[in-house]
Chains A and B, each alone.
Chain A
Amino acid sequence: MKRRQGWLFFIIFLLTLSVYLLINYPLQLGLDLQGGSQLTLQIIKEEGKVTKDELDAVNAVIDRRVNNLGVSESNLQTLGGDQLILELPGEQNPLVASRVLGKTALLEFRTQKAGTSTDLKTLQLQRLNIKEIIDQYSSSEKSQYDDNFLKIIQDDLKEIEQELNYSTTSSDLYGMLIEIKKYVDKEITNLFIKTDLSGKDLINAGRRQEQTNSNWEVLLTFSNSGGEKFAEITKSIAGTNQLLAIILDGESISEASVGNQFANTGITGGSATISGNFSAENARELEVQLKGGSLPLPIEIVETNTIGALLGSKNILKSLYAAISGLILVGIFMIFNYRILGFVSVLSLVLYGFLNLALYSLIPVTLTLPGISGLILSIGMAVDANILIFERIREELYDGNTLTRSIDSGFQRANSSIVDGHITTLLSCFVLFLLGTNFVKGFAATLGIGVLISLFTSLNCSKTILRFFTTYQSLRQKNLFLPKNNFSN
């Protein structure tokens, strides 16, 4: 008896502790409940597996970029050895993040091949033409967007194609424009030779507005050795008609000549500016990318989920309705069929609910929609254990055993079935958790935790509460445990 009372106090203590935890450490809600965006970044490696070092390196670069972007409360984590998951809570547009994060940001400095001036001039001119057409096309309003306008653009495009001796293969006009732009960028890059100066030689990047117009420029600061390399390179082409190109991810973003006055020493001082008609936004994106360094392996954004805040709070309400109505109906069902025993199971279910939530805030488990459905489903599992036990108790009572004996052997004999059932479910949860996606993991985690807690509440707590009830003489009547009409059987 003493020992049972000890258990009772322990249960009350656990309940109090859970409530305390829940008040002080509120539950973390997933993006599907609070609104926000989630991006999955896949590291692309042509051959072999992504190593731990490579994953860490990519993670570090992305982390720096995210920090420099200044998104609030973002969360970055790795998944499955070659993926990263970035969460942006609230109404933050994933577009900027995707533009900044998705680029490798490989910065190269290249010098022009000798004797390619005419080629470069032609290509630069065409690049300008294409840019103008694209601007015109994408800024035009629907009203101007008539056949005549389209025809002009198509004619212009055809002219450029002839000039370049290249024909596009895309099916729609926009695709053709983008395609030819890429072709020209590639051709320009090919006119330049690599040097040993690259983004690795940077120690900082910044941006400022140009004084003469509203365009922005990006400032580069080299390390000591980088500064020396830069001086060396500029010295080698100073005064010639060869240009220095700054190339980002294979696309030249600036071509500039180096004046004759630098022929002796090259450009010293360890810094350079890129002024390539940047908008404020573009300049900021480039700054963030350069500050974060280039990615050791390219990445691709393979998944983007965005949930509005309003929808998130609706999801919370809906889940709450589902959980509460489920609990109440199960409670009614249990009390109707098992009387006092049913009431005991309702009490231990309430405890079960609190313990689950408390563990979520303690571990912590981020609560998502699939997570909640795991929890709701595990209610069924927890009740199952109670049903197994209660059925046994009923049988013992029918056989004419005393209440105390029936209760004892009921718990004892149901034990192995309960453990079996829980183990098979735990096995599934374990596999799901190991192999599943983030989404699925939430479900596996809550169901798994639920199954473990249910082992404790259904075996121990129900027993303790039941024992406590049966210390009251007025409750020790068989008809409170069995529906009356059944005695006739």
Chain B
Amino acid sequence: MKYNLELIKNKKKIIGFSTVLTLLSLLGILYSTFNTSYKKPINLGMDFVGGNELRIERICEAECSNLSPDSVFENLKEISKNKKVLNNLKLQFQNNNKLISIRTPYLSIEESNNLISNLDNIVGPLNYESKDSRLIGPKLGKRLLTNSVTSLLVSLFAISLYITIRFDKKYALFALLALFHDLLIVFGIFSWLGIILSVEVNSLFAVSLLTIAGYSVNDTVVIFDRIRENLKSKKEGYNETIQLSVNESFRRTTFTSITTLIPLLSIILFGSYSLFWFSLALSLGIIVGSYSSILLAPSLLLKD
């Protein structure tokens, strides 16, 4: 089976499509920076700003009784001695009222323990074996943020350097352009997710961006390799050779994306909730990455 993507004909459409995606991402980032309550390009999660996150299950005989978060909060207010704990407390019931999840600003272990025992009095008994509690101080949060940003910049620099050494200037430039396009779009999608669904990003998001960077460059490199190889041996025109090379690599690139997406999909479906957004970010990155490797980067190489 041969593939026949009409790259030359559709160059304008492809570049236009990518421009629109990029602009939409930028719009999300700008909107998030200036118009939302968190005033950041993206909704930073607990890892980066500090706080307390608690998930714990109730022990119920048959079905867990229906409770409204508001009434629980009122009760908490009544019995909590340290009122500080209740500032900005967010409480949710999930899994048919079985799972309680709570977010507050940073608490000490002692304060968090008190909160849990108060909670036990109101909605208990609680199953302590199912507890998942994270307390992150604001200092550490800031540090994690700096660390993540540095890791991203350093590895982007390293990848850029490698590509520049490995390829001619033109190839390197376009491979990197495709890379930043992919990262920007994934970042933008999460900005929008933050605005619309209050999805937060944590340190694993930075990891997913880094992994996407590796993948995206890898995909582009394989296609550019093919183009280089064919330009040396084929007698057809420059643009035609590029289109041919893309079609020859099409199966490989889509297959690779599929075999990578399959395990990620398994994590999304079966894995722990803490890996959900991480796997989703990676999946999005791989989809956008394949698109940019197959269509965008080679289109940029085409001559008018």
Q: Which residues in A have some Cβ–Cβ distance to B below 8 Å?
A: 32, 35, 40, 42, 91, 93-95, 98-99, 137-138, 142, 145, 171-175, 300-311, 314-315, 318-319, 321-323, 325-327, 329-330, 333-334, 337, 369-370, 373, 376-377, 379-381, 383-384, 387-388, 391, 395, 416-417, 420-421, 423-425, 427-428, 431-432, 435-437, 439-440, 443-444, 447, 486, 489
Contacts and interface: CB of A to CB of B under 8 A. Distances in A.
Contact of B207 (A329, A427, A440): A440
A252 to B, nearest CB: 22
A307 B272 contact: no
Contact of A137 (B81, B135, B271): B81
Interface in B238-284: 248, 251-252, 255-256, 258-267, 269-272, 274-275, 278-279, 282
B147 A376 contact: no
Interface of B: 1-2, 56, 78-79, 81-84, 108-110, 112-113, 121, 127-137, 139-140, 144, 147, 150-151, 154-155, 158-159, 162, 166, 203-204, 206-207, 210-211, 213-215, 217-218, 221-222, 225, 248, 251-252, 255-256, 258-267, 269-272, 274-275, 278-279, 282
A432 B131 CA distance: 29
A428 B213 contact: yes
Nearest to A422: B218
Contact of A369 (B2, B81, B272): B272
A138 B270 contact: no
A370 B266 contact: no
A436 B207 contact: yes
Contact of B83 (A172, A327, A377): A172
B121, B155, B264 pick with most chain A CB within 10 angstroms: B155
B83 A315 contact: no
B56, B137, B261 pick with most chain A CB within 10 angstroms: B137
Contacts of A306: 131-134
A369 B206 CA distance: 16
Given A137-B81, A420-B221, A373 B259 contact: no
B270 A325 contact: yes
B271 A425 contact: no
A388 B252 contact: yes
A431 B266 contact: no
Given A329-B266, A424-B217, A311 B132 contact: yes
A447 B215 CA distance: 12
A148 B140 CA distance: 42
Nearest to B202: A439
B256 A384 contact: yes
B263 A377 contact: yes
Contacts of B113: 93, 95
Contacts, number: 239
A373 B140 contact: no
A370 B204 contact: yes
A431 B140 contact: no
Contacts of B110: 95, 98-99
Contact of B222 (A314, A326, A417, A444): A417
A15 to B, nearest CB: 22
A300 B279 CA distance: 33
Given A315-B272, A428-B210, A333 B259 contact: yes
21 contacts: A98-B108, A142-B79, A172-B82, A307-B133, A311-B130, A311-B131, A322-B270, A337-B255, A369-B274, A373-B275, A377-B260, A384-B218, A387-B259, A420-B222, A424-B162, A425-B211, A425-B215, A425-B218, A431-B155, A432-B207, A432-B210
A310 B59 CA distance: 13
A323, A388, A432 pick with most chain B CB within 10 angstroms: A432
Contacts of B81: 137-138, 173-174
Given A303-B136, A315-B272, A91 B128 contact: yes
Contacts of A373: 267, 271, 275, 278-279
Contacts of A431: 151, 154-155, 158, 210
Contact of A435 (B147, B211, B271): B147
A377 B109 contact: no
A334 B218 contact: no
A303 B83 contact: no
A437 B147 contact: yes
Contact of B133 (A172, A305, A383, A423): A305
B136 A420 contact: no
A145 B78 contact: yes
A308 B129 contact: yes
Contacts of B82: 172, 174-175
A64 B139 CA distance: 26
A326 B218 contact: no
B127, B225, B248 pick with most chain A CB within 10 angstroms: B225
A137 B133 CA distance: 27
B109 A95 contact: yes
A309 B132 CA distance: 10
